[in-house]
């Protein structure tokens, strides 16, 4: 279960950056991710930010 969640989060982040690269705004991206991954906006934001904070700590 934990591995599946990790993979899902990885795919979600990749999709987020793909949509950002295509020029979509954050609110539109979150709405799109909600439809694709069946998560709430707060869950998506939590996943995206948790990775950013981890990256900043390593630097």
Structure tokens at 5: 């969640």
Q: Domain range for residue 54?
A: 2-58
Domain count, the chain: 1
Residue 59: pLDDT band with limits 50, 70, 90: very low
Predicted TM-score (pTM) of the model is 0.78
Query: 8 to each of 4, 51, 57, 58, 59, how far by Cα in Å?
Result: 6, 13, 23, 23, 25
pLDDT tens-place string over residues 12-56? 999 999 999 999 999 999 999 999 999 999 999 999 988 665 655
Dist. CA 57–CA 43, nearest whole Å: 21
């Amino acid at each position: 279960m934990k591995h599946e969640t990790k993979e899902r989060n990885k795919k979600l982040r990749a999709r987020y950056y793909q949509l950002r690269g295509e020029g979509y705004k954050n609110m539109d991206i979150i709405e799109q991710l909600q439809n694709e991954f069946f998560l709430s906006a707060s869950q998506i934001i939590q996943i995206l930010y948790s990775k950013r904070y981890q990256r900043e700590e390593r630097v």
